[in-house]
Amino acid sequence: MLTEAMIRKQVSEAAKKARQTTPLAGSITNFVTVDFVANAQLAVGGSAAMVYLPDEARSLVRLGSSFYINVGTLLPVYAESVPAAMDEAAATDKPWVLDPVALGIGTLRTELLQHARSCHPAVIRGNASEIIALADLWKLSHGGGAGVRGVDATDTVEAAETAAIALARYTKGAVAVSGKKDLITDGTHVLTAEGGSPLMEKVTGCGCSLGGVIAVYAAVTDPFTAACCGTFAYNLAGESASSVADGPASFKSAFIDNLYTLTDKLDTAKFSLTEV
C-alpha cells in the first residue's frame, strides 16, 4: 500500500535524478506558451526540444527519454505530426504526457484526442472540464457534458474525480487534474494537493508548462510519481513566487526562479492520500 511517507521519498528521489541525468523531454506544444514550457523544463533539470513536423516528431520521440503533447493551438501540420508522435511513443514504449487542451472545440482537436486513446499516455494533465470531456470522448464515463470555456474549466476538480480514475485505470498510468486544489490518481490512489497562487491564473502557460515538467519527471520515474513531482513543484514555486511578486509579470519570472531552487524540497509539499 502506498503511503504519504513513500510518496515524499519517491518525489525527492525523482527530483534528484532529473537534476543528475538531464533527461530530454521533447514536445509538440502550444506555440503561444512554448517559451514558458521550455524554460520550466530546464528549471527542473530537464532538456527541452520542440518540433512541429511529422518526421522530426518521430525522430525526437526516439531520441528523447519522454515526450509531451499539448493540443492547445493547432496548426494544419498537427494532423500528421501529433498522431506520428503518439504512435512512435507507443511503438517504442516511451512515456508520454498528454494535455487535452480545450477538448470540445473543433473537429481536428477531437480526432487527435480520440487517436490518443489507442496510444495510452503515461500521464494525462488537464483541468477538470478537459478531463471529464476526455473520459466522455473515450466512452469511459458519462460526465453529463463538460463545460469548457476556451482553455478554462467550468467544472470543479471534485466533479472530475470519477473521470480521472476511469482514465487512469484505462491507460494504466496517472491523471493530474489541476485547479484550486489539485487531484492526482493512478486509478487506485487519489492524492489531493494544495498550494500555488491565484496569480497562476493570470499568467498564460502555467498549465501548459506543468505538462512539460511532468514529462521531464516521467523520464525518470513512474507516471504517478511524475505527476506528483510536477504538481508539487508548481504548488511550492507558486506560493514562493507570489510572496515576492508585484503582479503577473514579476510572478512569472519569480516562478521560474523558484522552480529552479525548490525542486530539492518537493517532499515538503502539502497533500492528502486516499485509496479507491
Residue 138: what residue type? W
Predicted local confidence at residue 183, as pLDDT: 98
Predicted local confidence at residue 147, as pLDDT: 46
The residue whose grid cell reads 520521440 is 61
Domain of residue 128, residue span? 4-275
Asked if 259 and 233 count as a contact pair (C-beta separation under 8 A), the reply is yes
Strands 66-70 and 24-28: parallel
Nearest C-alpha neighbor of 146 from the set 156, 155, 137: 155
Ranking 12-21, 35-44, 250-259, 263-272 by mean pLDDT, the lowest is 263-272
Q: What is the CATH number of the domain that holds 244?
A: 3.40.1190.20
Q: Is 65 annotated as a binding residue?
A: no
Spatial distance between the Cα atoms of 188 and 208, rounded to a whole number of angstroms? 26
Q: Is 117 annotated as a binding residue?
A: no
Q: Cα-flanking dihedrals φ and ψ of residue 182, to 5°?
A: -100, 145
More confident residue, 31 or 37: 37
Given a cut of 50, whether residue 229 has pLDDT beyond it is yes
∠ CA 135-141-147, nearest 5°, is 60
Given a cut of 80, whether residue 14 has pLDDT beyond it is yes
Predicted local confidence at residue 18, as pLDDT: 98
Q: Is 253 annotated as a binding residue?
A: no
Given a cut of 70, whether residue 149 has pLDDT beyond it is no
∠ CA 89-97-26, nearest 5°, is 65
Q: Please give the tally of structural domains in the chain.
A: 1
Cα distances from 252 to residues 87, 141, 204, in angstroms, run 34, 36, 9
Predicted local confidence at residue 150, as pLDDT: 44
- Using one digit for the tens of pLDDT, what is the confidence trace for 84-141? 999 999 999 999 999 999 998 899 999 999 999 999 999 999 999 999 999 999 999 8
Ranking 65-74, 110-119, 151-160, 168-177 by mean pLDDT, the lowest is 151-160
Task: Give the mean pLDDT of the chain.
Answer: 94
The pLDDT confidence band at residue 142, using thresholds 50, 70 and 90, is: low
Q: Is 242 annotated as a binding residue?
A: no
pLDDT mean over 15-34 = 97
pLDDT mean over 227-241 = 97
Given a cut of 90, whether residue 222 has pLDDT beyond it is yes
Given a cut of 90, whether residue 154 has pLDDT beyond it is no
Predicted local confidence at residue 97, as pLDDT: 99
